[in-house]
């Protein structure tokens, strides 16, 4: 657990980067610091491993005052990932990953094994190990950056806009890899970003900071979207926050309609209706066809594959998305094995939304108390 | 100081000679380096060839180059042309890279825009590329100027007179004041050249100052 | 004329003896090495310190402004001042070496400084963030990354020393300069030109050897990276021309005498 107690950072020229910040980053969770530039989010992060020293206040790590710890030892126990990866250009990928283990005095063989294992964990092909950073793409460099931070298995990770410099598609992949890793490793992570979408996707807890380094609000993402404390936070989380908050509302009892289905290779003869769903042998949905346009057997060329598929155990947003993006206007819903369980229409999801309560206040209060 | 007061005339005559021996090669060198640098930019295969060739020329010690000039040019040993040609070689060697890199420093977007507006060939070179490369070229020219002023003084060892004579004569006759005068005169000359190039650059690139950029 | 120079160069009489060409080459290399080693012992730690701490940058500017002082003047001034205080053989050697050392401190210092300065701030930040201590950052990150510029500074220094040691024959130093200075005095153009050829070849060889060393000790990640970047962004390598990175570029082939060096990019902003 990382705890900020009334932490202030004031520069000699009088600028206040961080103003009386108090918050707690709980063990094993991802805490995201988000805000516009100049809100002191990076400064706050860098004060944790003492790259910047606070002017006043206390930062503690599992109850120990970091200000009293040995700087280098503190940092060796904390994984650190920065925006442009900051890889060592003169070292190969595998040597980059092995940096902290070597600093900690591991032997060469042990370090090498660990480094190769981590490269695999972050999804890098083994043949990249002996390349130099300049031979990698931006996304690959960031993966190496994450692997390097994890090398000595530190309980805490600090990540400063680690995915900001790569294009949106790669960013999405990196975020998924990262969430996967985190679900296995359960590190205590403080993550800085200016991107509210990233904050909401990754954070167990999101702290919104305003310019001048003041904490505006801290809570779990669902509560943040539903109950922004003021105009600044509301503006910052965006105009579509109502829609986005649906992703945190589970859709337990969707009113499902069963579908007439076809297998690939079956004939459409005798099938009526405008759209029919095609499934494979295991009853997994493949796509929609318009029977009137098919003469004879259904082949994969006839399929309209557009449209997302919602999980029955997923969120209301997923269900609504599936309905809105489906050519038949009926959203396909599957179970956890991917098998078809039925379809749902947009108006049905909307009436569910109308009937659902907003995220309850208790959850947010729990965080607020911890932060105070 | 007494020595200097008695020899103002000599110092000025030597300084004038020094200005020619260091300055003329600067002008000639720039005129030769411009097309070479442009060519190095235009044909990328030429770039490494020209850069290594100028690097090799630059490694030749100045006294050796001065001494070898008559052999190459067929001039007399005491001919001032030896020094001018040798210094021109050094200047070209230094400036080819600078010109090529300077032209390369023009942003691709600017070049595209110029092309889109119908700028072609020589007009584009003189209207767009060269003016924008001036800061980089001027920086190289300043380095060349300071180095030329220093190297030219070595020519007094082969009997070509300029400010270096104050140094050799002062050493031969144990007149410290003369050596100091020679050093000071060389430094002042180097600063003058430097300032002149800087001034020229300011005049040629009014936009740099408008941006508050540094020279 | 060329024939007689060739004859002089190939005659065994030229090469043999204590004052023969072979001995002169060894002398010349010895002075050069001595001066570069002493200068490097001062300039490398100093450059690392200035680059690492960012303190006392004026030292680099000061060293660079020294380049406006004519080599010959410095040589004679120091010889006149120091010469009488030393007796015997050393009266020639010490002033010359002192001047050579003073002369090559600037290129080495600005090479080292520019190299350390040019290390990507993100790389340095990551190094500290992972818990490297001051000296670990210097040894494991700053030196390896600055190596191309450090070495090209040393290369410049070597060439400058070889050139200046030739001139130092005028104040009585041995080495290949003897052929040039004595030849000019006695009007013996054959040995003058012969000596000039040998010293030029020596300079080219030393430069070549150092270029090879540079290729061997610099991490392929740095050289490969540069070309890699060049390919991606066409304007990138060249926009650097006025910044310290230029010097990175010029490191591969650095014109090197009388103050030209890896640090050129930095020179012009400091020179005056």
* Pick among B52, B54, B62, B63 to test the C interface (most C CBs inside 10 A): B63
DSSP A193-222: ES-HHHHHHH-SEEEEEETTTEEEEEE-HH
> What is the rounded distance in angstroms from the CA atom of residue A191 to the CA atom of residue A159?
5
Give tens-digit pLDDT for A63-84. Answer: 999 999 999 999 999 999 998 8
A132/C122 Cβ within 8 A: no
Residues A144 and A287 in one domain: no
User: Do B and A have ≥3 inter-chain CB pairs under 8 A?
Assistant: no
To the nearest whole Å, the CA of A34 is away from the closest chain C CA by 21
Give tens-digit pLDDT for C191-236. Answer: 888 889 999 999 999 999 999 998 898 888 888 644 333 333 333 3
CB contact, 8 Å: B94 with chain C? yes
The predicted pLDDT at position C247 comes to: 34
C225/A86 Cβ within 8 A: no
Compute how many other C-beta atoms are within 10 angstroms of the C-beta atom of residue C249.
21
At residue A357 the predicted structure's pLDDT band, cuts being 50, 70 and 90, is low
Three state DSSP letters for chain C: CHHHHHHHHHCHHHHCCCCCHHHHHHHHHHHHHHHHHHHHHHHHHHHHHHHHHCCCCHHHHHHHHHHHCCHHHHHHHHHHHHHHHCCCCHHHHHHHHHHHHHHHHHHHHHHHHHHHHCCCHHHHHHHHHCCCCHHHHHHHHHHHHHHHHHHHHHHHHHHHHHHHHHHHHHHCCCCCHHHHHHHHHHCCHHHHHHHHHHHHHHHHHHHHHHHHHHHHHCCHHHHHHHHHHHHHCCCHHHHHHHCHHHHHHHCCCCCCCCCCCCCHHHHHHHCC
Parallel, antiparallel, or unpaired for β A276-279 and A261-263? Answer: parallel
The predicted pLDDT at position C241 comes to: 31
Q: What CATH number is associated with residue A163?
A: 3.40.50.300
The predicted pLDDT at position A185 comes to: 92
Residue of A nearest to C220 (CA): A90
B202's tokens: 């300011």
Q: Is residue A215 part of a domain?
A: yes
Contact assessment for residue A202 and residue A26, using Cβ atoms and an 8 Å cutoff:
no
Given a contact as 3+ CB pairs under 8 Å, which chains touch B? C
CA distances from C135 to C47, C127, C140, C141 (A): 14, 11, 8, 10
Give tens-digit pLDDT for A1-13. Answer: 999 999 999 999 9
A92/C221 Cβ within 8 A: yes
Q: Is residue A253 part of a domain?
A: no
Residue B74's region, left for phi above 0, alpha for psi from -120 to 50, else beta, is: left
Q: What is the ipTM of this complex?
A: 0.84
Residues A183 and A274 in one domain: no
> What is the rounded distance in angstroms from the CA atom of residue A146 to the CA atom of residue A123?
11
Compute how many other C-beta atoms are within 10 angstroms of the C-beta atom of residue A36.
14
Query: Mean pLDDT score of chain A, rounded to an integer?
Result: 87
pLDDT at A115 over 90: yes
B158/C257 Cβ within 8 A: no
The predicted pLDDT at position A8 comes to: 94
Residues A209 and A350 in one domain: no
Parallel, antiparallel, or unpaired for β A285-289 and A276-279? Answer: antiparallel
Q: Is residue A245 part of a domain?
A: no
Instruction: Find how far residue C224's CA is from the centre of its chain.
Output: 25
CB pairs under 8 A between B and C: 199
Q: Residue A331: which domain range?
A: 261-355
Name the residue among C214, C236, C210 with its Cα closest to residue C225.
Answer: C236
Q: Which residue has the higher pLDDT, A245 or A201?
A: A201
A334's tokens: 């599957």
Residues of chain B falling short of pLDDT 70:
1, 210-215
To the nearest whole Å, the CA of B4 is away from the closest chain C CA by 16
Q: Is the pTM of this model over 0.80?
A: no
Contact assessment for residue C178 and residue C191, using Cβ atoms and an 8 Å cutoff:
no
Instruction: Find how far residue A356's CA is from the centre of its chain.
Output: 25
Residues A62 and A135 in one domain: yes
Residue of B nearest to C208 (CA): B56
The predicted pLDDT at position B212 comes to: 54
Angle between helices C21-53 and C177-186 (to 10 degrees): 120
Q: What CATH number is associated with residue A335?
A: 3.10.580.10
Please list, in sequence order, all residues whose beta carbon lies within 8 angstroms of the beta carbon of residue B65, skipping any fewer than 6 positions away.
Answer: B86, B89, B90, C196, C200
What does CATH list as the number for B2-208?
A: 1.10.3720.10
Number of structural domains chain A divides into: 2
Q: Is residue A254 part of a domain?
A: no
What domains appear along chain C, each with residue ranges and CATH number? 25-270 (1.10.3720.10)
Residues A265 and A202 in one domain: no
Q: Specify which residues A263 forms β-bridges with.
A: A279
Cα separation of the two ends of chain C: 45
Q: Is residue A144 part of a domain?
A: yes
Compute how many other C-beta atoms are within 10 angstroms of the C-beta atom of residue A355.
7
On the CB side of A53, how many CA atoms lie within 13 Å of its CA?
Answer: 7
Contact assessment for residue C56 and residue C50, using Cβ atoms and an 8 Å cutoff:
yes
Given a contact as 3+ CB pairs under 8 Å, which chains touch C? A, B
pLDDT at C259 over 60: no
Give tens-digit pLDDT for C106-162. Answer: 999 999 999 999 899 899 999 999 999 989 999 999 999 999 999 989 998 999 999
The predicted pLDDT at position C158 comes to: 92
The predicted pLDDT at position A294 comes to: 79
Residues A185 and A218 in one domain: yes
């Amino acid at each position: 657990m990382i705890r900020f107690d009334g932490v202030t950072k004031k520069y000699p020229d009088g600028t206040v980067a961080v103003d009386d910040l108090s918050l707690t980053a709980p063990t094993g969770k991802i805490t995201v610091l988000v805000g516009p530039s100049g809100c002191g989010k990076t400064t706050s992060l860098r004060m944790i491993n003492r790259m910047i020293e606070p002017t006043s206040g206390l930062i503690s790590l599992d109850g120990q005052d970091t200000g009293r710890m040995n700087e280098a030892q503190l940092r060796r126990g904390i994984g650190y990932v920065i925006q442009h990866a900051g890889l060592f250009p003169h070292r190969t990928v595998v040597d980059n990953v092995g940096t902290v283990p070597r600093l900690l005095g591991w032997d060469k063989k042990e370090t090498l094994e660990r480094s190769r294992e981590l490269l695999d964990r972050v999804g890098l092909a083994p043949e990249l190990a002996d390349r130099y950073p300049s031979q990698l793409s931006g996304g690959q460099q960031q993966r190496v950056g994450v692997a390097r931070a994890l090398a000595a298995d530190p309980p805490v990770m600090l990540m400063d806009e680690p995915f900001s410099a790569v294009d949106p598609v790669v960013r999405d992949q990196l975020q998924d890899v990262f969430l996967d890793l985190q679900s296995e490793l359960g590190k205590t992570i403080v993550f800085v970003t200016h991107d509210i979408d990233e904050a909401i996707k990754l954070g167990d807890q999101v702290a919104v900071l305003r310019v001048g380094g003041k904490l505006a609000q801290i809570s779990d993402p669902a509560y943040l979207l539903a109950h922004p404390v003021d105009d600044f936070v509301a503006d910052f989380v965006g105009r579509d926050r109502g829609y986005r908050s649906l992703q945190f509302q589970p859709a337990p009892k969707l009113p499902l309609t069963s579908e007439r289905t076809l297998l690939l290779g079956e004939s459409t003869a005798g099938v009526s209706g405008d759209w029919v769903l095609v499934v494979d042998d295991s009853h997994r949905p493949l796509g929609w066809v318009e029977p009137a346009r098919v003469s004879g057997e259904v082949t994969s060329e006839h399929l309209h594959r557009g449209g997302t598929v919602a999980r029955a155990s997923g969120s209301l947003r997923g269900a609504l998305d599936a309905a809105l993006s489906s050519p038949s206007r009926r959203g396909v819903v599957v179970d956890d094995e991917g098998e078809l369980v039925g379809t749902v229409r947009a108006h049905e999801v909307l009436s569910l939304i109308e009937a659902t309560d907003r995220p309850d206040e208790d959850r947010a209060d729990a965080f607020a108390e911890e932060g105070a | 100081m007494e020595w200097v007061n008695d020899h103002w005339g000599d110092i000025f005559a030597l300084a004038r000679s020094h200005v020619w021996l260091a300055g003329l090669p600067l002008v000639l060198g720039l005129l030769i380096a411009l097309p070479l640098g442009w060519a190095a930019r235009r044909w990328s295969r030429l770039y490494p060839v020209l850069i290594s060739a100028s690097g090799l020329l630059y490694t030749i010690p100045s006294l050796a180059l001065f001494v070898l000039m008559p052999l190459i040019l067929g001039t007399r040993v005491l001919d001032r042309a030896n020094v001018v040609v040798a210094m021109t070689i050094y200047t070209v060697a230094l400036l080819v890279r600078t010109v090529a890199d300077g032209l390369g420093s023009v942003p691709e977007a600017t070049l595209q825009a110029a092309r889109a507006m119908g700028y072609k060939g020589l007009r584009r070179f003189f209207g767009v590329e060269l003016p924008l490369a001036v800061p980089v070229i001027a920086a190289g020219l300043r380095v060349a100027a300071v180095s030329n002023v220093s190297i030219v003084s070595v020519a007094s060892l082969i009997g070509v007179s300029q400010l270096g004579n104050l140094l050799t004569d002062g050493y031969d006759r144990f007149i410290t004041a003369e050596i100091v005068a020679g050093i000071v005169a060389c430094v002042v000359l180097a600063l003058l050249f430097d300032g002149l190039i800087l001034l020229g650059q300011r005049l040629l690139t009014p936009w740099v100052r408008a941006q508050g950029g540094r020279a | 004329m060329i024939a007689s120079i060739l004859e002089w160069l190939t005659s065994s009489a030229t090469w043999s003896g204590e004052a023969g060409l072979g001995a002169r080459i060894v002398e010349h290399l010895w002075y050069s090495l001595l001066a570069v080693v002493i200068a490097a012992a001062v300039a490398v730690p100093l450059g690392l310190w200035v680059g690492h701490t960012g303190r006392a940058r004026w030292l680099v500017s000061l060293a660079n402004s020294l380049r406006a002082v004519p080599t010959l003047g410095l040589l004679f001034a120091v010889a006149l001042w120091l010469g009488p205080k030393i007796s015997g053989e050393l009266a020639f050697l010490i002033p010359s070496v002192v001047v050579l050392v003073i002369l090559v401190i600037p290129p080495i210092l600005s090479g080292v400084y520019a190299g350390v300065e040019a290390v990507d701030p993100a790389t340095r930040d990551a190094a500290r963030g992972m818990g490297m201590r001051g000296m670990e950052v210097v040894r494991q990150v700053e030196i390896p990354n600055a190596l191309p510029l450090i070495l090209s500074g040393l290369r410049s220094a070597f060439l400058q020393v070889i050139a200046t040691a030739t001139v130092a024959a005028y104040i009585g130093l041995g080495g290949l300069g003897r052929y040039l200075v004595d030849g000019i005095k006695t009007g013996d153009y054959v040995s003058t030109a012969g000596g000039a050829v040998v010293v030029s070849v020596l300079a080219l060889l030393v430069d070549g050897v150092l270029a090879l060393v540079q290729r061997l000790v610099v991490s392929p990640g740095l050289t490969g990276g540069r070309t890699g970047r060049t390919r991606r962004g066409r304007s990138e390598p060249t926009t650097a021309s006025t910044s310290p990175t230029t010097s990175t570029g010029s490191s591969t082939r650095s014109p090197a005498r009388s103050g030209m060096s890896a640090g050129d990019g930095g020179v012009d902003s400091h020179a005056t």
